[in-house]
Amino acid sequence: MNVQVRPQRDQWTGLLQRPELDNTKLEASVKKILQDVKEKGDEAIFHYTQQFDGIAINRLQASQQEINEAISTLPDDLKNAIQLAANNITAFHKKQLSVPEVIETMPGVLCWRKSIGIEKVGLYIPGGSAPLFSTILMLAIPAKLAGCKEIILCSPPGKDGKLHPAILYAAQLTGITKVFKTGGVQAIAAMAFGTASIPKTYKIFGPGNQYVTCAKQLVQQYGVAIDMPAGPSEVCVIADDSCVPAFVAADLLSQAEHGPDSQVLLVSPSEEVVKNVQQELKKQLAVLPRKELAEKALQNSKAIIAKDMQEAVELVNTYAAEHLILSCENDEAIAELIMNAGSIFLGNYSPESVGDYASGTNHTLPTNGYARMYSGVSVDSFVKKVTYQKLTKEGLHQIGKAVELMAEAEGLEAHKNAVTIRMK
Amino acid sequence: MNVQVRPQRDQWTGLLQRPELDNTKLEASVKKILQDVKEKGDEAIFHYTQQFDGIAINRLQASQQEINEAISTLPDDLKNAIQLAANNITAFHKKQLSVPEVIETMPGVLCWRKSIGIEKVGLYIPGGSAPLFSTILMLAIPAKLAGCKEIILCSPPGKDGKLHPAILYAAQLTGITKVFKTGGVQAIAAMAFGTASIPKTYKIFGPGNQYVTCAKQLVQQYGVAIDMPAGPSEVCVIADDSCVPAFVAADLLSQAEHGPDSQVLLVSPSEEVVKNVQQELKKQLAVLPRKELAEKALQNSKAIIAKDMQEAVELVNTYAAEHLILSCENDEAIAELIMNAGSIFLGNYSPESVGDYASGTNHTLPTNGYARMYSGVSVDSFVKKVTYQKLTKEGLHQIGKAVELMAEAEGLEAHKNAVTIRMK
């Protein structure tokens, strides 16, 4: 880690800067795939699955038999772990459902708001070495609670043409409507435009590589919404003398193992703490299977020694981390001072990985400084909140004059007249 | 209006299609202005204000004296009308504030969520013939309730270098922090990048012409969020025999007067109703000041005669209108069947214009079919919802095993280790 001792405030922006994400170089190739899928549908999907995943398939949807067979191979203890996580995620997200409440803003003027599930949503789960079945829980559980009618999942097949059993188990457990074996840009295109096999959806969720991220950005031009802009995963730890350096090091490494572009930041008012954490990092890194990935991420990462805890908080608010761990004595008081973060982990027994999997909170969170203005995924992400108003004749008389005056002042005579004609 | 009698279902998509919005032709000129403001700051703002608004200014912020003087010229009855609207909007939006609730998903595993106002937000109000002070209420009131610390407003000055007194009154009333006299692309650029005079903001709200819309789309690439994608305003009315044709006509005209690209749609199971509404349209149009604008919009608009009320509802759900008026007998039952709409107006005494100004609901709503997956502006638009978790040592033991198993199955050993090291 690159250690910075009490940097001047005018250096902060530079120090806390993330790497620029430039997708423009990919754009041409991503656009070509989007266009191909838009025009040729399934045929283009088969073609790109052959090209990129190296597997010839002629049926995209995973059959129920295929799902059942795969699930039967999954160890029971993993099934139980997934079930436990699903229970906690459900318990936490269920409380995000809102009940419409009618508000009488003036006598006879009734207004209310109702959450309605987005009818069709598409979830994307990347393939590769790690089968991210946990992300299925994080997306499908709130989608189901929100009342989305069609919840489809796309994920790239392995060389054997199959999906990982844990992906299929999580999909079945959470009530996903249909599972499709396709990944990359072609999957995003399919969920945006629809093909003979894959239904068009209104909003697309889920992580992915640079190509998938670029495709999600581009399909917004065709009237499809996406969960949020994406960047590499991040953790920031504020640690004081009350921390356990071995725990802090383990948390930093759990972020670093994601890959060389992972963002890892340690902020502490204590030079001693930073020194001890670094020693622990060395020790733990040595025995890590994904050692090389983590090592590269750590080389690009920073430890900042702040003047005091107040400055540490200011630094962290400037950075706006996806995950923020407060390994400090007054964790609850400090949490109250945080303005910008995706999810906050308080105390010595709340590692990021509990939130990644099973505490109940969502792990799809704003990266790249977007925590300044974006929320993580929640039930809110899967609904639209529709407003309603019903006025009685008397209610209209209560506010009619004000509407007439305002409409007239804005030069909108027909707006005024829609009230006047009813007041006569 | 173009009348369609019981169109076949396979014609619906074509019939309900909005005009394509193609901003690509503007992009080059918009990008140039964005770049100029990014590089030259205030100097570029002065230059473009001279060029586009035809006025040389050397100070962007409206002074308190200027604001006070303008407000003193505003008639009391208009002030009172704005105050009444502000009260209702406050009453409705106040109920959108949420109180954090701690959820113990398992013993010792505490999770909660808190809404935190976005620190800096920028509001844009277009200039031109109509001073849209009502939009200030719709944006600044929820921003203030959300707890945003800096709420700035940009609006183009008139030829006299001033803003309309009603704009300044609404800004003062709602507690806007600073008002800047600049409009168009240069205003969006200023709020996205910041200049010496105008602070950089994290999220930009408000309506505008094609150039402003394009600028809002483009600044998202620089890490700024926007309220929602924009298109021309729309109203759809479902009317049955219980409607008053003169009221329906007045509602259609109040949308049509916005301009020739306004979207106006009438859906009814009754040919009689459509005939009567058309006669009323002719009558009311004749005396309208903005007759020409409204006439053009009506020429592009449709009246669809549906087989029955059920088909009318399906049509309307397919269209996903910004504003939906239910001028029908069973308005409340029909409202329950609507899946896609921005805001719904029930019964004969709830014209769209009450929602535009004073009922209490927000008038910044999803157009162009975005009501399928976007909500209108609310307090939610001005906060991020941050999640928190705090586990006791015992809490970690409750879920530790599940986290270890899941992390291992995803191939993320360091994630597992962050738990293991704490359980030892």
How far is the C-alpha of A192 from the C-alpha of B66, rounded, in Å? 50
pLDDT in tens, A287-335: 988 888 889 999 989 999 999 999 999 999 999 999 999 999 999 999 9
**Ordered DSSP codes for A242-282:** TS-HHHHHHHHHHHHTT-TT-EEEEEES-HHHHHHHHHHHH
Residues 344-383 of A with CB under 8 A from B: 344-362, 366, 368-376, 378, 380, 383
How far is the C-alpha of B123 from the C-alpha of A272, rounded, in Å? 46
- Whether residue B397 is annotated as binding a ligand: the answer is no
Strands A263-268 and A234-239: parallel
Which residue is closest to A89 within chain B, CA to CA? B105
Give the architecture-level CATH label for domain A231-375.
3-Layer(aba) Sandwich (3.40)
Q: Is A283 on the interface with B (CB under 8 A)?
A: no
The 10 Å Cβ neighbour count of residue A194 is: 16
Which residue is closest to B335 within chain A, CA to CA? A388
Answer whether A380 sits within 8 Å of B380, measured CB to CB: yes
Using only C-alpha atoms, chain B has a radius of gyration, in whole angstroms, of 25
Residues of A in contact with B202 (CB under 8 A): 372-373
* pLDDT at residue A34, rounded to an integer: 98
Query: What percent of chain A clears pLDDT 70, i.e. is strictly above it?
Result: 100
Which pLDDT band, with edges at 50, 70 and 90, does A231 fall under?
A: confident
* pLDDT at residue A262, rounded to an integer: 87
pLDDT in tens, B299-346: 989 999 999 999 999 999 999 999 999 999 999 999 999 999 999 999
**A353 → closest Cβ in B335, B380, B407:** B407
Residue B94 reports pLDDT greater than 80: yes
Find the range with the poorest average confidence among A251-260, B118-127, B199-208. A251-260
- Whether residue A124 is annotated as binding a ligand: the answer is yes
Which pLDDT band, with edges at 50, 70 and 90, does A20 fall under?
A: confident
The beta strand positions in A364-422, using DSSP E, are 383-391
Q: Is B242 on the interface with A (CB under 8 A)?
A: no
- Angle at CA B146, nearest 5°, toward B92 and A327? 140
* pLDDT at residue A130, rounded to an integer: 72
Residue B230 reports pLDDT greater than 90: no
**B130 → closest Cβ in A92, A396, A410:** A410
Q: Is A281 on the interface with B (CB under 8 A)?
A: no
Answer whether A378 sits within 8 Å of B361, measured CB to CB: no
CB-side exposure of B363: number of CA atoms within 13 Å? 28
Cβ distance B158 to B164 under 8 Å?
A: yes
**A386 → closest Cβ in B91, B250, B343:** B343
More confident residue, B290 or A421: A421
How far is the C-alpha of A20 from the C-alpha of A231, rounded, in Å? 10
Q: Is A247 on the interface with B (CB under 8 A)?
A: yes
* pLDDT at residue A129, rounded to an integer: 65
Chain mean pLDDT for chain B: 95
Find the range with the poorest average confidence among A121-130, A193-202, A363-372. A121-130
Cβ distance B147 to B385 under 8 Å?
A: no
Residue B67 reports pLDDT greater than 90: yes
Map tokens 């249909």 to a residue. A178
Q: Is A250 on the interface with B (CB under 8 A)?
A: yes
pLDDT in tens, B377-404: 999 999 999 999 999 999 999 999 999 9
* pLDDT at residue B298, rounded to an integer: 92
Which residue is closest to B246 within chain A, CA to CA? A421
How far is the C-alpha of B249 from the C-alpha of B235, rounded, in Å? 12
Answer whether A96 sits within 8 Å of B113, measured CB to CB: yes
- Whether residue A323 is annotated as binding a ligand: the answer is yes
Whether B323 is a known active-site residue: answer: yes
Average pLDDT rounded to a whole number, residues B166-189: 97
φ/ψ region of B299 (left if φ > 0, alpha if ψ in -120 to 50, else beta) reads: alpha
Residues in contact with B304: Cβ distance below 8 Å, sequence separation at least 6, in sequence order: B3, B4, B7, B15, B265, B266, B267, B268, B315
Average pLDDT rounded to a whole number, residues A283-287: 93
Query: What percent of chain A clears pLDDT 90, i.e. is strictly above it?
Result: 89
Establish, for the pair of chains A and B, how many residue pairs have beta carbons separated by less than 8 Å.
396
Q: Is A413 on the interface with B (CB under 8 A)?
A: yes
* pLDDT at residue A186, rounded to an integer: 98
SS3 B181: strand
More confident residue, B74 or B291: B74
Average pLDDT rounded to a whole number, residues B156-180: 95
Strands A120-124 and A150-155: parallel
- Whether residue A255 is annotated as binding a ligand: the answer is yes
Q: Which residues pair with A324 in a beta bridge?
A: A236, A344
* pLDDT at residue A259, rounded to an integer: 84
Whether A231-375 and A24-226 are alike in CATH topology: the answer is yes
* pLDDT at residue A289, rounded to an integer: 84
How far is the C-alpha of A163 from the C-alpha of A132, rounded, in Å? 11
Residue B209 reports pLDDT greater than 70: yes
* pLDDT at residue B10, rounded to an integer: 94
* pLDDT at residue B181, rounded to an integer: 96
**B105 → closest Cβ in A88, A349, A419:** A88
Judge if ipTM > 0.90.
yes
pTM of the model: 0.96
* pLDDT at residue A298, rounded to an integer: 92
Residues in contact with B333: Cβ distance below 8 Å, sequence separation at least 6, in sequence order: none
Average pLDDT rounded to a whole number, residues A194-206: 98
pLDDT in tens, A383-399: 999 999 999 999 999 99
How far is the C-alpha of B343 from the C-alpha of B395, rounded, in Å? 44
Nearest Cα of chain A lies from the Cα of B373 at a distance, in angstroms, of 6
Q: Which residues pair with B109 in a beta bridge?
A: B106, B391
Residue A326 belongs to what H/E stretch?
strand A321-327
Map tokens 């409206």 to a residue. B62
Q: Is B169 on the interface with A (CB under 8 A)?
A: no
Answer whether B378 sits within 8 Å of A290, measured CB to CB: no
Residue B125 reports pLDDT greater than 90: yes
CA distances to B179, B244, B247 from B327, in Å: 40, 8, 9
Map tokens 């896609």 to a residue. B340
How far is the C-alpha of B400 from the C-alpha of A313, rounded, in Å? 29
**B421 → closest Cβ in A246, A332, A343:** A246
Query: What percent of chain B clears pLDDT 70, i.e. is strictly above it?
Result: 99
* pLDDT at residue A29, rounded to an integer: 95
* pLDDT at residue B237, rounded to an integer: 98
Whether B47 is a known active-site residue: answer: no
Nearest Cα of chain B lies from the Cα of A204 at a distance, in angstroms, of 10
**B353 → closest Cβ in A294, A370, A418:** A418
Nearest Cα of chain B lies from the Cα of A330 at a distance, in angstroms, of 13
Average pLDDT rounded to a whole number, residues A199-207: 97
Average pLDDT rounded to a whole number, residues B59-85: 96
Cβ distance A345 to B419 under 8 Å?
A: no
* pLDDT at residue A62, rounded to an integer: 96
- Whether residue B255 is annotated as binding a ligand: the answer is yes
Residue A30 reports pLDDT greater than 80: yes
Q: Domain segments of chain A: what residues?
A: 24-226, 231-375, 392-423
Which pLDDT band, with edges at 50, 70 and 90, does B129 fall under?
A: low
Which CATH superfamily hosts domain B24-226?
Nitrogenase molybdenum iron protein domain (3.40.50.1980)
Which pLDDT band, with edges at 50, 70 and 90, does B290 fall under?
A: confident
Q: What are phi and psi of A302, to 5 degrees?
A: -125, 145
Cβ distance A233 to A333 under 8 Å?
A: no
Name which of A357, A385, A397, A416 to mutate to probe chain B: the one with the most chain B Cβ atoms within 10 A of its Cβ: A357
**B358 → closest Cβ in A132, A368, A406:** A406
pLDDT in tens, A101-160: 999 999 999 999 999 999 999 999 998 767 899 999 999 999 999 999 999 999 999 989
A150, A234, A311, A323: the catalytic one is A323
Which pLDDT band, with edges at 50, 70 and 90, does B76 fall under?
A: very high
- Angle at CA A95, nearest 5°, toward A91 and A171? 50
The 10 Å Cβ neighbour count of residue B240 is: 20
* pLDDT at residue A67, rounded to an integer: 96
Which pLDDT band, with edges at 50, 70 and 90, does B260 fall under?
A: confident
Q: Is B142 on the interface with A (CB under 8 A)?
A: no
Residue A364 reports pLDDT greater than 80: yes
- Whether residue A93 is annotated as binding a ligand: the answer is no
Q: Is B422 on the interface with A (CB under 8 A)?
A: yes
pLDDT in tens, A55-68: 999 899 999 999 99
Answer whether B383 sits within 8 Å of A375, measured CB to CB: yes
Answer whether A388 sits within 8 Å of B416, measured CB to CB: no
Q: Is A15 on the interface with B (CB under 8 A)?
A: no
Average pLDDT rounded to a whole number, residues B359-365: 98
Residue A50: DSSP 8-state: I
Q: Is B216 on the interface with A (CB under 8 A)?
A: no
